[in-house]
Structure 1
Amino acid sequence: MQPKLKTVPMRDWNLGLDDFVVISGPCSAENEEQVLNTARDVAKSDKVKVLRAGIWKPRTRPNSFEGVGEIGLKWLKKAKEETGLPIAVEVANAQHVELCLKYDVDILWVGARTTVNPFSVQEIADALKGIDIPVMVKNPINPDLQLWIGALERINQAGITKLAAIHRGFSSFEKGPFRNIPKWELPIELMRVCPEIEIICDPSHIAGNRDLIPFISQKAIDMDMHGLMIESHIQPKIALSDAKQQVKPAQLVTLLDELTIRKPSSQNPEFKSLLDELRSEIDEIDEGIIQSLGTRMGISEKIGEYKRDNDVTILQVNRWDEIIRNRLNLAKALGLSETFMNKLLAIIHEESIRRQTDVMNRELAK
Structure 2
Amino acid sequence: MAFIPESDKIDVEKVRQISKLTGQALSRKEARDKELEAIIKGEDDRLLLVIGPCSSDNEDAVLDYAHRLADLQEKVKERVFMVMRVYTAKPRTNGDGYKGLVHQPDAQGQPNLINGIKAVRNLHYRVITETGLTTADEMLYPENLSLVDDLVSYIAIGARSVEDQQHRFVASGIDVPTGMKNPTSGNLNVMFNGMYAAQSPQNFLYNGQEVKTTGNPLAHAILRGALNEYGKNVPNYYYDDLLATIDQYEEMGLENPFIVIDTNHDNSGKQYLEQVRIVRQTLINRDWSDKINKFVRGFMIESYLEDGRQNQPDVYGKSITDPCLGWDKTAELIHEIYETLGK
- TM-score interval (norm. to shorter): 0.5 to 0.7
Conserved in 1, the CA contact under 8 Å of 2:40 and 2:258?
no
Aligned to 2:246: 191
Work out which structure has the larger RCO, using CA pairs closer than 8 Å and 6 or more positions apart in sequence: 2
The answer as to whether partners of 1:20 and 1:227 remain within 8 angstroms in 2 is yes
Q: Report matched runs for 1:1-366 at 5 Å.
A: 10-12=37-39, 18-46=45-73, 47=80, 49-69=82-102, 70=117, 71-102=119-150, 104-115=151-162, 117=163, 120=164, 122-158=165-201, 159-174=215-230, 181-182=235-236, 184=238, 185-195=240-250, 196-205=256-265, 206-207=267-268, 208-224=270-286, 225-236=296-307, 237-238=309-310, 239-243=319-323, 246-259=324-337, 261=340
TM-score scaled to structure 1, two decimals? 0.61
Gap change, CA 1:96 and 1:191, over 3 Å in 2:
farther
Kindly provide the CA deviation profile for residues 120-176 of structure 1, in whole angstroms up to 9, marking residues without a partner as x. 2x3134335554222111111112121111011011014101222111111125576
Structure-2 change in CA distance of 1:254 and 1:174 (3 Å): farther
8 Å CA contact 2:37–2:176 kept in 1: the answer is no
Equivalent position SS for 1:30: coil
Q: Distance in 2 between matches of 1:202 and 1:128?
A: 19
Indicate the RMSD between aligned Cα atoms, in angstroms. Answer: 2.8
**Contact kept in structure 2, 1:9 and 1:198, CA below 8 Å:** no
Structure 1: state its 5+ residue gaps: 1-7, 267-366
Q: Identity rate of aligned residues, in percent? A: 22
Give the Cα–Cα distance (whole angstroms) in 2 for the partners of residues 202 and 12 of structure 1.
Answer: 17
Is the alpha carbon distance of 1:9 and 1:78 closer, same or farther for their aligned partners in structure 2, counting shifts above 3 Å? closer
CA drift at 1:234: 1.6
Secondary structure of the structure 2 residue equivalent to 1:223: helix
Change (3 A) 1:58 1:220: same
Size of the aligned set, in residue pairs, is: 247
Contact 1:25–1:233, Cα closer than 8 Å, also in 2? yes
User: Are the counterparts in 2 of residues 30 and 72 from structure 1 also a CA contact under 8 Å?
Assistant: no
Q: Deviations over 1:163-201 (max 9, x none)?
A: 22111111125576xx55336344432212314411011
Please say if residues 32 and 72 of structure 1, whose CA atoms lie closer than 8 Å, have aligned partners that are also in contact: no
Q: Distance in 2 between the 1:20 and 1:183 partners?
A: 16
Determine which structure has the larger helix proportion and give its number. 1
Deviates more, 1:187-196 or 1:224-233: 187-196
Rg larger for: 1
Q: 1:92 to 1:175 in 2, by over 3 A?
A: closer
Amino acid at match of 2:136: A
Partners of 1:152 and 1:85 lie apart in 2 by 27
Counterpart contact for 2:121–2:148, Cα < 8 Å: yes
Change (3 A) 1:27 1:180: farther
Instruction: Could you tell me which runs of 5 or more consecutive residues in structure 2 were left unpaired when the two chains were aligned.
Output: 1-34, 74-79, 103-116, 202-214, 251-255, 287-295, 311-318
Task: Answer with 67-76 or 104-113: which moved more.
Answer: 67-76
Query: Cα offset for 1:218?
Result: 1.4
TM-score normalised over the length of structure 2: 0.65
CA distance in 2 between counterparts of 1:19 and 1:174 reads 39
Hey, what's the Cα distance between the residues in 2 that align with 1:92 and 1:27? 14
Whole-angstrom distance in 2 between the partners of 1:113 and 1:200: 17
Q: Partners of 1:181 and 1:131 in 2: how far apart?
A: 29
* Structure with the larger strand share: 2
Whole-angstrom distance in 1 between the partners of 2:200 and 2:158: 19
Q: Deviations over 1:190-232 (max 9, x none)?
A: 2123144110111122211122111111122233321111111
One-letter amino acid matched to 2:134: P
Secondary structure at the residue paired with 1:165?
strand
What amino acid maps onto 1:217 in structure 2?
V
Q: Distance in 2 between matches of 1:133 and 1:50?
A: 12
Partner of residue 344, structure 1: none
